[in-house]
Structures are given as structure tokens and as C-alpha cells.
Amino acid sequence: MGYIYPNEFEVGWGILIVIYPFISGIIAGAFLIASLYRLFNVVSLKPVFRLSLLVSLAFLLSTNFPLTTHLGHPERAFEIIVTPHTSSAMAVFGYESLYLLVILTLILLYEYRKQLVSLIENGARSVIYKVLTLGDYDVSEKAVESDRKIGYYIMWIALPSVIFLHGYVGFIFGSVKANPWWNTALMPLIFLISGIVSGIALILLLYFIVSKVRNEVVDNSCVESLSSFLLLFLTIGISLELLEIAHFMYLQEEGVEIISELITQKLFASFALQLGVGGLLPIVILFCGKFSRSTDIKKAVYTLSSLLVLIGVFSMRWNVIIGGQLISKSLRGFADYHIQIFGQEGLITAITALAIPFFILWVLAKIFPLKEA
């Protein structure tokens, strides 16, 4: 449609690069929930504290898969860490994710040490637990209190780091000045808030699922808190996304025509998913759900809202990353993106990339109990 530069017929960043910020955004949301309990004393979130920590770690461990798989030369991926080009925004990612991995692992080990020691005594998976306690079996009150304090202080370091990580992911796209759809200072903020939203939605969903599987009673005050935070951040996120579009339309700068065509025609369906089905609709039903007296209705509303929000955030990633590449830099036409089933960037690889964090979470939950002893 229209004119595109000849080399633009190929969309360079496909579905794997859509999945990458989707996964890393969930880290931000999940870790925020853990921080709200531990650092800001939102006690109602205690039932999901450990789940949030495990989700953060599982998703962090999974971010590299879509990135590395998408590379033309995955075998050279390690060069980003060995010989980074310091002027590149992308070069920071390797260090940032490694640093976060260390910090999140430390938080987890300090949180769990006491319980892991008790598990050694019980003999189950002893070798793994012995390694994870790093040989420190002291479970005196003083030692446990010391663990709690150290974990607390590390979390204070981790919180801004996690927020920075996802803001930075937005920066990777927002700093591409060649692309009028990406080049906005709002991008890091939009990515961060939508990431937080998706993380909270996933924790809410997982909490329902885990409770159902384990036949446990859902803590209503925890669910209420989670849904309130979801509603709050979703409202902020959707407002920011609408503001961004308003900003483009109001400024009427070069590229406004093609951007408006992208939103209203080329990607109309996925924009409807992002802002309508995955944005405004969950805001309305979450708000209405708050007034219901039936816990079953609330549960259904929150489950549905969380699912819609996750679809909406995924659509947002799609609209930014794929949408940005559909617009020709000649500003005169659109490229097309067709996803394949097989291949390096095919649908099967994408589904694998989305499944990996849940598999890792399952493994982590086998090692680190979700409930305190």
C-alpha cells in the first residue's frame, strides 16, 4: 500500500521481539507486588508475595530466549557482554539482566533460607537445598531476623532496578528517531506502566489458578488489593496511551497522516484490542465488580479482566513493535507482516517463548514452596 523503500518489504523485528517486552513487563508488575508487601507494608498482599518473587525470577530467566533466538547469529550473542558498544542502548541489556538475576536470586535465597534448612532435615531434595542455603544452616531467631533485614535492603535496591529495566526496554524503541511512531519520550513510561499492569494481572490469574489447583481458599482481601492496584495502573496506562495518540494528532507533525492511517485502518483491530477490549472494557468491569457483593461474581470479573488486560498489553506491544515497522520511513506507505508457522521466528517458536517462563515457574515452585512452613 503506497510507496515503501525497497528494503523495507522485510519486517526485521517480528513476533519474538513483541514477546520480549511482554515478558520483561511482567517482571516489573510482579516485583512491584512483592515490593508493596515487603517494602510498603501492604499486608493484604502477603498470600502472593512469594508467588510474585518466583514469577519475577522465572520471567527474568526467560527474557533472553526470544532475544537470542531472533538474532541472525545467536552464537555471537555473548559479544554484547564481552565487547559491548557503550553508545548503544541495546548493549546495556546484558548487564542489566545479569545484575537483576543476581539480585532477585539473592532476595529469594534470603527469603527462603530458613525454610530450605528445614527441608534439608526432612530429606527431600536435600542436595539442592544444601546448595541453595550456601551451607548456612543457622536458623536461630537472630539469624532469621538478619536474613529478613538483608532481604529487605536488597529489595530496596532491586525495586528501582526492575523499574529501570522495563523503562529501558521502552527506551530501546523510543530512542529510534528514524521511526515517528516510536520516537516519543512517553515510550519508556508507557512500557513501564503497561508492564506493571500485565504483571499484576498475571499474578491475580495465577493466584486463582494456584488456589484452585491446591484446593485452597482464596484470600479476599488479597484479591481486592490486587484488583484495586490493577484498576489503578490500568487507568494510568490507558490514559498515557491515549495521551500519546492525542499528542501525535495534536502536533500534526510530519508522519501524522501515516500514523493516523495505521491506527484507523491498517491495525484497527489490534488497536481496538489494546485500547477497547484490553483497556477501557476491563476498567469498566473492574470498577463495576468492586460494587458486587458476591465473591463468585467478583472472582469471575477479576479473572475475565485479567485475561483481557493481558491480551490488551500484548496487543500494545504488537502495535508498537510491528506497527512501527509497517510504517515506511518514506512516510508514503505500509509494509506487510506475515507470521509463519515454523522457522526461527515462527508461531511455534513464539509459543515456546511464551511457555518457557511458565515452565520455569513450575520448576521454581517445586523447589521453593509458595507457602511458609
Partner 1 sequence: MKRRGFLAAILGVAGSLTGIKLEVRALTYNWSEHSYFFVVDVTECIGCGRCVVACKVENDVPEHFFRTWVERYIWYEGEIKVDSPEGGFYGFPEIDDEDVMKSYFVPKLCNQCENPPCVQVCPVGATYRTPDGVVLVDEEYCIGCRYCIQACPYGARYLYPLNGKVESRRNTADKCTFCYHRITKNSKPACVEVCPTRARRIFDMGDEKQKEELFKIIENSSIRVLKPEQGTKPRVFYIGIDSEVR
- Binding stretches for partner 1 (CB under 8 A): 3-10, 12-13, 70-74, 76-77, 79-80, 83-85, 87-91, 93, 176-179, 325, 328-332
Query: Closest approach of Cβ 92 to partner 1, in Å?
Result: 9
**317 HSE (CA, 13 A, CB side):** 28
Burial track 204-225 (b if 16+ CB lie within 10 A, e otherwise): bbbbbebbeeeeeebbeebbeb
User: Rounded distance, CA 98 to CA 317, Å?
Assistant: 24
- Using the minimum distance from each CB to partner 1, give the nearer residue, 77 or 300: 77
Query: Closest approach of Cβ 197 to partner 1, in Å?
Result: 26
End-to-end CA distance of the chain: 62
Query: Closest approach of Cβ 66 to partner 1, in Å?
Result: 12
- Using the minimum distance from each CB to partner 1, give the nearer residue, 142 or 177: 177
Query: Closest approach of Cβ 256 to partner 1, in Å?
Result: 15
- Using the minimum distance from each CB to partner 1, give the nearer residue, 88 or 221: 88
Contacts 24+ apart (CB under 8 A), 150-156: 150/110, 151/38, 151/106, 151/107, 151/110, 151/111, 152/38, 152/39, 154/103, 154/106, 154/107, 154/110, 155/34, 155/35, 155/38, 155/39, 155/107, 156/39
- Using the minimum distance from each CB to partner 1, give the nearer residue, 74 or 160: 74
Query: Closest approach of Cβ 101 to partner 1, in Å?
Result: 19
- Using the minimum distance from each CB to partner 1, give the nearer residue, 41 or 87: 87
* 132: Cβ contacts below 8 Å, ≥ 6 apart: 109, 112, 113, 116, 367
- Using the minimum distance from each CB to partner 1, give the nearer residue, 87 or 215: 87
Query: Closest approach of Cβ 253 to partner 1, in Å?
Result: 10
